[in-house]
């Protein structure tokens, strides 16, 4: 099955470095960022897990939990965490899912059904498509998906920026323009007529008949 925005994120039970979890229960009333890796002890992923550890406080401010997954057993994750600390100076305190039977990777359409049922003997190239990020809302719906090649490290500041937009636009009848950041002007959605827009957002700028900009609403 392919995973699309607004689909319910597939639920699963899995072993992690912090014990067994049920994904939907673990999310609870938070947002969640599930990010995947093709193999432990790979250079790009080592930097990525450290980067996420360094940003853990920023995700927490946004009520977003972070969880990694790699198609290797949990025991291997525990050893990898020491390398991540050495390479990046960051301690990984968030859970890492062990997916040695490839169940979650297949469930999220990161590997084909015919990929087998064991991580044993598989190379990073065999698992190259296990490089996705899924942002899931408290309603357990998928809000964002991204997939990167193995040679391109992910920009997790962009994930934070996207979560800011997702949360803002879920609360107000606005959208965010290209390269938007917190505090910048937003777009008033077409569903809001001019009189309501003025009441909600005050004065606004009509750039085009279908493009109206206003100051970012305050919470």
- Active-site residue set: 45
- Kindly report the number of other CB atoms within 10 A of residue 28's CB atom: 10
Contact status, residue 108 vs residue 117, Cβ threshold 8 Å = no
The length of the chain in residues reads 219
Q: Indicate left, alpha or beta for 155 from its phi (over 0: left) and psi (-120 to 50: alpha).
A: beta
User: Interhelix angle for 43-54 vs 156-171, to 10°?
Assistant: 50
- In order, the DSSP letters of 154-194 are --HHHHHHHHHHHHHHHHSSEE--TT--TTS-EEEPTTS-H
């Amino acid at each position: 099955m392919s995973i699309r925005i607004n689909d319910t994120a597939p639920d699963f039970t899995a072993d992690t470095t912090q014990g067994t979890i049920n994904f939907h229960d673990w999310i609870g009333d938070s947002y969640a960022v599930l990010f995947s890796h093709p193999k432990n002890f790979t250079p790009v992923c080592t930097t990525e897990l450290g980067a996420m550890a360094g940003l853990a406080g920023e995700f927490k401010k946004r009520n977003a939990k972070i969880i990694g997954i790699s198609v290797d057993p949990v025991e291997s994750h525990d050893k990898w965490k020491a390398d991540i600390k050495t390479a990046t100076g960051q301690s990984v305190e968030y859970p890492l899912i062990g997916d040695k039977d490839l169940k979650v990777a297949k469930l999220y359409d990161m590997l084909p059904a015919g990929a087998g049922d064991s991580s044993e003997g598989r190379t990073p190239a065999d698992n190259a498509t296990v490089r996705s990020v899924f942002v899931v809302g408290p309603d357990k719906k998928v809000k964002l998906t991204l997939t990167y090649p193995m040679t391109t490290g992910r920009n997790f500041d962009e994930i934070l920026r996207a979560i800011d937009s997702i949360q803002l636009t879920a609360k107000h009848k606005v959208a965010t323009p290209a390269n938007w950041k917190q505090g910048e002007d937003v777009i008033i959605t077409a569903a809001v007529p001019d009189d309501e827009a003025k009441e909600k957002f005050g004065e606004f700028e009509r750039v085009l008949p279908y493009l109206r900009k206003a100051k970012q609403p305050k919470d």
